[in-house]
Amino acid sequence: MDSNVELMRTALQAFNSRDRAGFDALLDENAEIVPVRAVIDGTTFCGPDAASQYCTAVDESWEALRWEVEEIRDLGSRVIAFGHIRGRGRGSGAGIDARGAWVADLRDGLITRFQTYSDRADALEAVGLTE
């Protein structure tokens, strides 16, 4: 299997199991993680522990939030994945079951930028592709 695809799969699995150290180990020291809510409030997580910061923030708002990946494409220095975001709001119990996409920028076998998209078309546009 392609190493970029495997890196993305490992990152997504680390998020799902909340393996903060494992996810952090996949990041460049200057990595940036951009969650869906960044569009609304500008929140991003930066640095070698960006994944830990992100997982902690997710767990403050959500119970059992998981990414279910259906497809991963290697685009050279980028990888894009498509699937579903599923979970329940902490406190409210409101469920989420939405299509999602993830884009990782890679350099020297590490993730330099990782962004979550709630819209597949937006993710494709971000990497210069269309359906």
Greater confidence, 7 or 130?
7
Dihedral sign for Cα 103, 109, 110, 112, please: negative
Beta-strand pair 110-117/27-34: parallel
CA distance 80 to 53: 22
Integer Cα distance of 19 and 17 in angstroms: 5
For residues 75, 79, 81, 85, the Cα torsion angle rounded to the nearest 10 degrees is -150
Give per-residue pLDDT as tens, 46-68: 999 999 999 999 999 888 899 99
From residue 72, alpha-carbon distances to 33, 60, 102 in Å are 18, 28, 9
The beta-strand segments (E) located in the chain are 27-34, 45-46, 62-74, 78-89, 95-107, 110-117
Which contacts of 95-100 are long-range, i.e. CB under 8 A and separated by 24 or more positions?
96/62, 96/65, 100/36, 100/67
Residue 81's pLDDT is what?
97
- Residues 95-121 have pLDDT tens digits of 989 999 999 999 999 999 999 999 999
Map tokens 């522990």 to a residue: 49
Read off the pTM: 0.91
| Percentage of the residues of the chain whose pLDDT score is greater than 90 | 79
* Domain residue limits, the chain: 3-120
The domain defined by 3-120 carries CATH number 3.40.50.300: no
